[in-house]
Structure 1
Amino acid sequence: MTDLQLGSLIAAGGIVAAVYAFNWWQEYRYRKRTQQAFARNQPDVLMEAPRNMVRSGERFEPALDADDDAPARLELPADEAPIRAEPRAEVRSESRAAPAPQPVFARDEDDDGDALSESLLDPGIDFVAEVHARDHIPPRAVPPFAAPKRVQAIGLTTEGHWEAVSSASSAEYTELRVGLQLADRQGPLSAEQLNAFCMAVQQFADEHEAIATFPQRSGKLSAARELDEFCASVDVLIGLNLVGEGRPFPMEKVRQLAEQSGLVRTNEGWAYRSDSGKTLFTLANQEQKPLGNTSEALTLLFDVPRVAGGLAVFDYLSDFAQQLAGSLGANLVDDNGRALTAASLDNIRRQLGQLYARMDDRGIAPGSVAALRLFA
């Protein structure tokens, strides 16, 4: 072997060694950053997030003008009355207001169990990562994947059935699907949040010598923004106000009238609920003031996207509001003190129907599991 050949071999070996060392260093730095970002003592942002946050949706008022200090409202033609938005709601099987009952899932059949488990993730509203394991992964080894939005993991058991990952399960998994919700009332998923989630899933897969696969990130981020924009456009709550004519309402009489109409007592006031226990609309002091022996004004609130059978519920709400106003000698008004007539309520109902139609067209049925997740 000539000196030239020997030198070439040494140079080639040096290049290979340098490339190997560089790759090792890059992997070391990646793991170091991941460990720092997802250390066990990191706070759970989702658990610490404030409750009942409303995205930039409107509290749709039956009002034509908006005060500078009032919540934002939709601008409507002068002959139309808008709607208003805040905390949320769903109907009991009364004669008028009878929404579709909430499904009761049973796992008597394996197929039913698989369908229920797989329904926990929705590619339309979740970024779903897949982890294909070389060895079986026990449930206790699956971390919570702390994130600022809902995370749900399901696992394919060694017996070939999907189940929600739970530390109480005795199964082991050959495959995992981990979903991160694209949007909620705090806004759309950000690139930073998504990258952090992917790094956590990749680290978990590396630790278990598994293969992790992810959807195309830029496309999912665009979908998150578009989904959030749509949700904001229908994220509204109808509010109707009852104001006394110079004298406060006796709350004992309000209680009797509310209970006679099927409402139940809550910490804030009263709620009308479905047979499954979901709130359809509420009755409370205006401005959410604490209840006392009397009240100067009351407010009925009805969440739009979270209510199944919403038009029937609104019909019942409208009748109850008018009956309550008549019994208490109150005026039924918007936030600007303008009277709400039968024509005003009809206009609100028509707008409500349009919002529900848009949700149906989008495939997010009002009161459905998807709607309850997106508007939580």
Structure 2
Amino acid sequence: MSTLQLSLAIIGGLVLACIVAYNTWTTRRNTPKRALPPEPERVAEPTLRQEPGFDTAADGVDARDAPDDPSPDSPITAHAVDPAEALQMPVPPFPAEQRRAGLDPLIDAIAPLQPESIVSGDAALAAQPPTRRAGSKPFAIEGLNEATRQWETPAPGQRYQGFQAGVQLANRMGALNEIEFSEFVVKAQAFADAINAAPDFPDMLQEVARARELDQFASEHDAQLAFVLRARQAAWSPGYVQQNAARLGFVPGAMPGRLVLPASSPGLPPLLTLAFDTQAALADDPEQSAIRDITLSLDVAQVHRAEQPFARLRELAAALCEAMDGVLCDQNGTPLPAMAMDPIAADLELLYDKLDERDLSAGSVLARRLFS
């Protein structure tokens, strides 16, 4: 073999190796990032038996890391706190709800129903209409408990000396209209007839006008924020997204491709929602599904301001971007610098004040009903 042939062979081999390396690199780059396997549990090293005592350091735990509340429900664990865990720390409890959860003249049209005699809870339940809506608006009947003197949803075994029927004036479907008010009257009248009660309905035109004014206020003060976290280079698999979100406190939601950050108190709406492509979550092999972006959203009126949901959204978005090599964008895909979030935070404080002035504080029962 001549020197020329040998040189050509070497050059060809190098080119082939470069092509194989480039293809391997491209394939790895385009493969969605996958969740890391769980770390194996460490086997505890044998230690000398020690007598019980109050010194937590004697048990191998630094007293500074010990939980203040040793109960099983305590959210604080006995180890050093890293930045991701700091985002999950409980916030101070927000003020107790001043208004009860039932019908309220602030957002409901209410008709008193006075029966001729005491009505049992079983009879009231039997007379209830089959549906709890008038058009697109929630409809409810409450009874004045003879023993407690409190308004409540009729219950078996109780006795009621009075009733009231109500329909919500507005929600995100719009204002109560004349047709819906008429349906409310028909349902309330049928219930009143069944329990021998005399209804006292409010004026329809006045209530419809109140509904329009309330709907106008709600439309002007309804904020639902959504931001997009977009992958800079390699896409993400559903498992990779779920693993990183779980480290920051997110839990699976009711729908595939949806994760939520729970509120500090059980039973309340979630603070934040993280969503990605539902088809990717339902794929036969989710780890092969490529996700290029996820959405982080906040329904402002549903979350109390004391939870500081927007501040937590900013912190969690930054943590996810760093952990997953992503960039925060608006809904049009335009990257958002950190300074762009400050005006939004200022506007939200003004919005919270306006809702407070109207007795519709964000996160309250009435606000959650109105903005639903």
Which one of the candidate residues 326, 340, 343 is aligned to 1:330? 326
Aligned residues: 272
Task: State the secondary structure of the residue aligned to 1:282.
Answer: strand
* One-letter identity of the residue aligned with 1:129: A
Alpha-carbon distance in 2 for matches of 1:124, 1:179: 11
Instruction: Show the counterpart of 1:86.
Output: none
Alpha-carbon distance in 2 for matches of 1:104, 1:195: 32
Alpha-carbon distance in 2 for matches of 1:259, 1:245: 21
8 Å contact 2:111–2:200 — kept in the other structure? yes
8 Å contact 1:98–1:313 — kept in the other structure? no
Let me know the Cα RMSD of the aligned residues.
2.8
Change (3 A) 1:327 1:206: closer
Alpha-carbon distance in 2 for matches of 1:247, 1:135: 72
Alpha-carbon distance in 1 for matches of 2:171, 2:306: 21
User: What are the residue-to-residue correspondences of 1:188-207 with 2, within 5 Å?
Assistant: 188-207=175-194
User: What are the residue-to-residue correspondences of 1:1-376 with 2, within 5 Å?
Assistant: 98=91, 100-101=93-94, 116=100, 119-142=101-124, 143-145=127-129, 146=131, 147-148=134-135, 149-159=137-147, 161-166=149-154, 168-266=155-253, 267-277=256-266, 278-285=269-276, 289-291=279-281, 292-293=286-287, 294-309=290-305, 312-376=308-372
* One-letter identity of the residue aligned with 1:144: Q
Task: State the secondary structure of the residue aligned to 1:355.
Answer: helix
Alpha-carbon distance in 2 for matches of 1:209, 1:368: 35
Alpha-carbon distance in 2 for matches of 1:224, 1:93: 43
Task: State the secondary structure of the residue aligned to 1:318.
Answer: helix
Q: CA deviation at 1:263?
A: 1.3
TM-score by length of 1: 0.65
Alpha-carbon distance in 2 for matches of 1:102, 1:259: 28
Alpha-carbon distance in 1 for matches of 2:86, 2:357: 26
Q: CA deviation at 1:346?
A: 0.9
Could you list the per-position Cα deviations for residues 83-138 of structure 1 after superposition, in whole angstroms to 9, with x for gaps in the alignment? xxxxxxxxx99677726458599xxxxxxxxx85xx51100111111111112222
Which deviates more, 240-249 or 361-370? 240-249
Structure whose CA Rg is larger: 2
Task: State the secondary structure of the residue aligned to 1:249.
Answer: coil
8 Å contact 1:153–1:165 — kept in the other structure? yes
Change (3 A) 1:340 1:96: farther
* One-letter identity of the residue aligned with 1:297: D
TM-score by length of 2: 0.66
Instruction: Show the counterpart of 2:12.
Output: none
Task: State the secondary structure of the residue aligned to 1:150.
Answer: strand
Q: CA deviation at 1:315?
A: 0.8
8 Å contact 2:145–2:158 — kept in the other structure? yes
8 Å contact 1:250–1:295 — kept in the other structure? yes
Change (3 A) 1:195 1:347: same
Alpha-carbon distance in 1 for matches of 2:112, 2:347: 41
Instruction: Show the counterpart of 2:21.
Output: none
Could you list the per-position Cα deviations for residues 263-285 of structure 1 after superposition, in whole angstroms to 9, with x for gaps in the alignment? 11233232111132431101121
Alpha-carbon distance in 1 for matches of 2:86, 2:145: 39
Task: State the secondary structure of the residue aligned to 1:270.
Answer: strand
Alpha-carbon distance in 1 for matches of 2:307, 2:209: 32
Alpha-carbon distance in 1 for matches of 2:205, 2:180: 13
Alpha-carbon distance in 2 for matches of 1:354, 1:170: 47
The percent identity for this pair of structures is 28
Could you list the per-position Cα deviations for residues 174-207 of structure 1 after superposition, in whole angstroms to 9, with x for gaps in the alignment? 2101111111121111112112322332344345
Alpha-carbon distance in 1 for matches of 2:229, 2:262: 21
Residue ranges of structure 2 left out of the alignment (5+ in a row): 1-84
Q: CA deviation at 1:262?
A: 1.3
Alpha-carbon distance in 2 for matches of 1:321, 1:94: 11
Alpha-carbon distance in 1 for matches of 2:233, 2:104: 53
* One-letter identity of the residue aligned with 1:140: D
Relative contact order (C-alpha < 8 Å, sep 6+): which is higher? 1
Change (3 A) 1:307 1:223: same
* One-letter identity of the residue aligned with 2:327: N
Q: CA deviation at 1:311?
A: 7.0
Could you list the per-position Cα deviations for residues 33-83 of structure 1 after superposition, in whole angstroms to 9, with x for gaps in the alignment? xxxxxxxxxxxxxxxxxxxxxxxxxxxxxxxxxxxxxxxxxxxxxxxxxxx
